[in-house]
Amino acid sequence: MIAETVGLLEDDVAYVSLPLFHSNPLMCGYVPTLIRGSTMALASRFSVRRFLPDVRMYGATYFPYSGKPLSHLLTAPEKPNDADNPLRVAYGNEGSWRTIERFERRFGCRVIDGFGPSEGAMGFPRAPSDPPGSVGRPPAHIKVLDENGRECPVAKFDQDGKILNADECVGEIVNTEGVGRFEGYYNNPEAEARRVRDGMYWSGDLGYMDERGFLYFAGRTEDWIRVDGENFPPHPIEDLVERHPTVFACAAYAVPDESASDRVMIAVQTQPGRSIDPGDLFSFLASQPDLSPKWLPTYVVITSELPRGVTGKVLVRELRREKFFSRRGEVFWRERGESGFKPFAPDDEKRLRAAFEASGRARLLDL
DSSP state of 295: G
Buried b (16+ CB within 10 A) or exposed e, 7-33: ebeeebbbbbbbeeebbbbbbbbbebb
Q: Which pLDDT score is estimated for 333?
A: 96
Res 365: pLDDT: 85
In single-letter form, the type of residue at position 4 comes to E
Per DSSP, the residues of 27-81 read: IIIIHHHHHHT-EEEE-SS--HHHHHHHHHHHT--EEE--SSHHHHHTTSPP-TT
Is 124 part of any domain?
A: no
Question: Does 125 reside within a domain?
Answer: no
> Which segments in the chain show pLDDT lower than 50?
none
pLDDT given at position 39: 98
Q: What is the CATH number of the domain that holds 338?
A: 3.30.300.30
Question: Considering only CA atoms, which of 249, 243, 251, 248 is closest in space to residue 272?
Answer: 248
Chain centroid, CA 332 distance in Å = 23
The reply to whether 306 and 244 lie within a common domain is yes
The answer to whether residue 130 sits within a structural domain is no
Q: Give the predicted TM-score (pTM) of the model.
A: 0.76
Residues 208 and 265 in one domain: no
Q: Is 354 inside a domain boundary?
A: yes
Give the CB-side neighbour count of residue 323, counting CA atoms within 13 A.
Answer: 15
Beta bridge partners of 249: 269
Same domain, 236 and 347: yes
The 10s digit of each residue's pLDDT in 149-189 is: 999 999 999 888 888 898 899 999 999 999 999 999 989 99
- Note the residue count of the chain: 367
Q: What is the reported pLDDT for 364?
A: 83
Domains in the chain, number:
3
Instruction: For strands 62-64 and 89-93, give the pairing.
Output: parallel
> 254: domain range?
225-366
Radius of gyration (Cα) for the chain, nearest Å?
21
Do 199 and 234 fall into the same domain?
Answer: no
**Are residues 246 and 210 located together in one domain of the fold?**
no
Q: Residue 60: count other Cβ atoms within 10 Å of its Cβ.
A: 25
Q: What is the largest CA-CA distance in the chain?
A: 69
Domain boundary among 200, 219, 238: 219
In a domain, 347, yes or no: yes
Query: Tell me, what's the pLDDT at 37?
Result: 97
> In CATH, what number is assigned to the domain containing residue 81?
3.40.50.980
pLDDT of residue 162: 82
CA distances from residue 286 to 118, 289, 361 in whole angstroms, order as listed: 36, 8, 30
> End of a domain among 219, 235, 268?
219
Final residue of a domain: which of 196, 219, 242?
A: 219
Same domain, 41 and 70: yes
Using alpha carbons, select from 297, 161, 321 the residue that is nearest to residue 238: 297
Using a 10 angstrom Cβ sphere, with 0-12 exposed, 13-18 middle and 19 or more buried, the burial of residue 124 is middle
Reference 304, options 344, 278, 276; nearest CA is: 276
> Is there a domain that residue 252 lies in?
yes
Residue 241 and residue 357 share a domain? yes
Candidates 190, 183, 169; CA nearest to 236 is: 169
Based on the domain organization, do 170 and 277 belong to the same domain? no
Whether residue 278 is found in the same domain as residue 338: yes
pLDDT of residue 222: 81
- Where do runs of H (alpha helix) occur along 206-322? 235-241, 278-286, 316-322
Q: From CA 329, how far away is CA 12, in angstroms rounded?
A: 44
Q: What is the DSSP letter of 135?
A: -
Within a domain: 99: yes
